[in-house]
Amino acid sequence: MPRTYLVTGSASGIGRAVAERLQGQGHTVIGADLGGADIEADLATADGRAALVTRAGELSGGRLDAVVACAGVAAFDPLTVRVNHFGAVATLEGLRPLLAAADAPRAVVVSSVASVHPVDDELVEAALSGDEGAAVAAAEAAVERGEGRVIYGSTKRSVARWVRRTAVTEEWAAAGITLNAIGPGTVVTPMTRPMLDDPEARAVVDTAVPMPLNGHAAPEQVAPLLDWLTGAENTHVTGQVVFVDGGADAVLRGDGTW
């Protein structure tokens, strides 16, 4: 049965691949991105987040079957905090009332295997407490210490933990809305292409994200998992971070977590 999806980050990479896959199955996809999408909104800003919610309500007629929060950046910069954590949380919280109007509502956010890398605990805790100013300040402090590289993984950790604690609440589980995250390994997209084209940077990436099964992924190899998690068939998977990483999480964390 055709469903209506909202996909952020729909103009590129993983978001584009899942949007195209869903459209190919006959579903309606409302794309959102900085440009080249049905809804053009900057999720780093309060105005952009509000515009997303307003336009999504108009374009969907007040009901969304699923939301895929994919928009993200990987800069060693506080912007990454604004987009990856607060932009994603605003997307999911803002669109939740539209999901609540559907029969089989589903939501998923794209975290990363970088969520298991070392993080800035202050940044993560500030993000989880909903204090954007404090989280941005922690990111600025990390940049000043020359540790800007921890920002990305910190945002992916905080959004994954937000999913864990939020999925089982009244507003989500008790309302019949699944809420999960996925944790991709290295996916070849415009975000990673410049690093992967540089042999030195590629070696650093491959050490940080070892992928013994089939190596780097194409966005089209990640999209089916997003498709299943947000489909009506997913009745009981919620609060999970599902790694789609060629085994990287199992290499990095071993059998101490499951």
Binding site for ligand NAI (CB under 6 A): 9, 11-15, 33-34, 42-44, 70-74, 83, 87, 110, 112, 184, 186-187, 189-192
Q: With left for phi above 0 and alpha for psi between -120 and 50, is residue 146 left, alpha or beta?
A: left
Say how many C-beta atoms besides its own lie within 10 A of residue 42's C-beta: 18
Which is nearer to ligand NAI, 17 or 167 (by Cβ)?
17
* Residue in 5, 152, 172, 243 annotated catalytic: 152
Cβ 149 to ligand NAI shortest distance, Å: 14
List CB contacts of 115: < 8 A, sequence separation 6 or more.
153, 156, 157, 159, 160, 183, 241
Report, in Å, the least distance between residue 235 CB and ligand NAI.
26
- The span from the CA of 60 to the CA of 58, in Å, is 6
- Least distance CB 170 / ligand NAI (angstroms): 27
Whether residue 152 lies in the annotated active site: yes
Residues near 25 by Cβ (< 8 Å), separated by ≥ 6?
A: 227
- Give the phi and the psi of residue 2 in degrees, each rounded to 5: -60, 135
Judged by CB, which is closer to ligand NAI: 61, or 190? 190
- What separation in angstroms does the CA of 245 have from each of 28, 114, 227? 28, 10, 17
Residue closer to ligand NAI (CB basis): 74 or 124: 74
Q: How far is the CB of 118 from ligand NAI (least distance, A)?
A: 16
Which CB sits closer to ligand NAI, 175 or 203? 203
Residues classed as catalytic? 152
